[in-house]
Amino acid sequence: MNYHKLKVAVIGAGASGLCAARHLLSRPHVFAPPVVYELSNCVGGTWVYTDKVGRDDYGLPIHSSMYRDLRTNLPKEVMSFPDFPFDSQLPSFIHHSDVRSYLEQYADHFEIQPHIKFRTHVELLNPVSGTTGDAWNSWEITSLNLNNHCRNTERFDSVIVCNGHYSEPFIPHIPEIEHFKGQKMHSHEYRFAEPFTGKNMVLLGAGPSGTDIALELCSVAKQVVLIHDHSLITSSMPPNFLQVKDASRPAECLKYFLIINISWIQ
């Protein structure tokens, strides 16, 4: 008996997009082969590290907030997909490059790569009204191939959006920031510690990456001040590390280099 196989699009070829595509491919009696749209030229999403900040070689905003020496703050044993474990020879807390390699192996193992449209920008996603007039039975995706600049529109029964989050830095209003005379940046643009050698540093926000970056900077900076509203860190810290539990007046640190580590998206 012939019946309609569901046609599904997946936007993004990071960890979530690859997982979605793998399970769609595992049910060929229900789903047609998925179409995976990926803006970059590789799989991995946020786990794809680059030294560049701002925009990539194609003029697109850098997606990942990955920094050079980042290691996972979760053990690999709880990060892996249930049906595809990490290499047992790796330590529990692994370098970001190992995660990227793992995702590449996952895509190869489950033969996802042929279904990915790399260097393809999803410009528009529109619901298409059903025949009853009161339901959306399908979706139209208009995409741009960044290699040949051709646009294409395809219709799907469902769309799974896996384009990640926290890729666009958000800087909230900081009282008296207009008086701050030092340099400032968002942690989204932090890559490695060496450029901050001998500097006085202030970091706003003590989430996992804020604390990790602060400790990296302690190895090269003159002074590192971590401003946050959490409980004070009680572990032994380097002598040039200082915590301040008051985020209300960071602009008073006029001679410091300010890194804002508040990762909410707009």
Task: Say yes or no: 129 and 30 in one domain.
Answer: yes
Q: Say if 66 falls within a structural domain.
A: yes
57 shares a domain with 152: yes
Decide if 266 is inside a domain: no
pLDDT value of position 264 = 37
Residue 1, domain member (yes or no): no
Same domain for 148 and 33: yes
Nearest 10 degrees: Cα torsion 90, 92, 93, 96? 40
Provide DSSP, 121-140. Answer: EEEEEEEEE-TTSSSEEEEE
Same domain, 146 and 189: no
What domain range includes position 185? 177-260
pLDDT value of residue 263: 45
End-to-end CA distance of the chain: 49
The pLDDT of residue 171 is 78
Q: What is the pLDDT of residue 21?
A: 98
Q: What's the structural domain count of the chain?
A: 2
Instruction: Identify whether residues 153 and 201 lie together within a single domain.
Output: no
Distances (CA, A) of 51 to 57, 81, 118: 12, 28, 21
- The verdict on 127 and 34 lying in the same domain is yes
Q: Which of 134, 161, 188 is the last residue of a domain?
A: 161
- CATH number of the CATH domain containing 241: 3.50.50.60
Residue 250 has a pLDDT of 55
What pLDDT is attached to residue 252? 54
What does pLDDT average to in each consecutive run of 10 residues of the chain (266 residues)? 84 98 97 97 95 84 92 95 96 98 98 97 91 72 96 97 84 77 88 95 88 95 89 90 74 60 44
